[in-house]
Amino acid sequence: MTEISSLGEFGLIKRLTQNIKTTNSATLYGVGDDCAVLHYPDTEVLVTTDMLMEGVHFDLTYIDLYHLGFKSAQVNISDIFAMNGTPRQLVVSLALSKRFKVEDLEEFYAGLQAACKQWNVDIVGGDTTSSYTGLAVSITCIGEAPRNEIVYRNGAKDTDLICVSGDLGAAYMGLQLLEREKTVYYQQVDEARKKNDQLALQHLKAFQPDFAGKEYLLQRQLRPEARGDIIKRLRDANIKPTAMMDISDGLSSELLHICEQSNCGCRVFEKNIPIDYQTAVMAEEMNMNVTTCAMNGGEDYELLFTVPIGDHSKIEKMEGVKLIGHVTKPEFGKQLVARDGTEFEITAQGWNPLQSK
């Protein structure tokens, strides 16, 4: 294992980026100078950034650095797709404690590159520094879109249809599963230490949780996929959403964002919310309400969007998209219609990274 300090900042950058090749014509110059050089003469530039903190956004007990790199890239790329844009470049900054080795970062970059290769995105720069509090990841994604094709959150109108891609709640249930197994493991470690049972402690080093039958939930949590495929299907069907977001903090929170910025209300039908079978089984196993998980769980990185009612027949035929409700006038509020017809006011119960624990 190679100490990071033995390479120095520039040596580390060179080692991590030596195999990165640029593929976008807009990337005139990538890693290697004070700035990347990009050229966008005839289109609008989209820029998004995310910061992920160890202990807040991820736990290295159950996510390895390859998957962390993959996920870090995908969640930023997802924001560009949520504006109906095309992602082009990525800038990566890391703050590292001394417990990380160069090989650890190579794993992280392998995950980054796998995600970027999937969507033809160039890694064009970044920064590294030291940290006393664990790993911090900051990623900026740059994309493009013609001005008249950009979709904001503020365009939803009365009678528009509300749609989501994929299924919801699986990433949250994957997180609950990982947290449960982590708790079980550390409880066993604590018991063995209290009894000074060295044999048990030795066996626990090879502890492997049983995730059989729950692989989909883990994939949704550890390896999310930005939904560029849905953007392509919408374009191919000649559908331009009137408002759109990706579902990072939970369906309820994202619905309220669109309603607030579009000055509208909504009616969403519980029976139409897409939920995978494994999600429902896991929620029952943990004695949790599956609709609550789907509405408030977050980290699905599916697309929530509204379309004109005239596109109803196109949406119904579209694979991977579900119609879950419609937009109303603001005075009708934001309502979730339960299976029995009872209506509940939608409240923002999604994940809040600034909330104190």
The yes-or-no verdict on residue 320 having pLDDT over 90 is yes
Whether 276 has a binding-site annotation, put simply, is: no
Whether 42 has a binding-site annotation, put simply, is: no
Q: Which amino acid is at 334?
A: K
Q: Which residue has the tokens 């029976």?
A: 271
Whether 246 has a binding-site annotation, put simply, is: yes
Token representation of residue 102: 């160069």
Whether 127 has a binding-site annotation, put simply, is: yes
Taking the model in full, what pTM does it have? 0.89
User: What are the tens digits of pLDDT across the range 118-143?
Assistant: 999 999 988 888 898 889 999 999 99
201, 110 contact by CB (below 8 A): no
The yes-or-no verdict on residue 100 having pLDDT over 70 is yes
Token representation of residue 105: 């970062």
Whether 153 has a binding-site annotation, put simply, is: yes
pLDDT at 196: 82
Q: Would strands 265-269 and 334-337 be described as parallel, antiparallel, or unpaired? A: parallel
Whether 210 has a binding-site annotation, put simply, is: no
pLDDT at 202: 75
Residue 292's H or E segment, with its range, is helix 290-296
Whether 55 has a binding-site annotation, put simply, is: no
Which residues, 6 or more positions from 301, have their beta carbon under 8 angstroms from its beta carbon? Answer: 74, 75, 78, 171, 224, 225, 226, 227, 246, 247, 248
CATH class of 151-356: alpha beta
d(CA 80, CA 231): 11
Q: Is 308 helix (H, G, I), strand (E, B) or coil?
A: coil
Whether 165 has a binding-site annotation, put simply, is: no
pLDDT at 126: 87
CATH number of the structural domain 4-145? 3.30.1330.10
Whether 351 has a binding-site annotation, put simply, is: yes
**Domain extent listing, the chain:** 4-145, 151-356
pLDDT at 9: 57
Token representation of residue 49: 């950034």
Whether 33 has a binding-site annotation, put simply, is: no
- Give 158-193 as a 3 state SS string: CCCEEEEECCCCHHHHHHHHHHHHHHHHHHHHHHHH
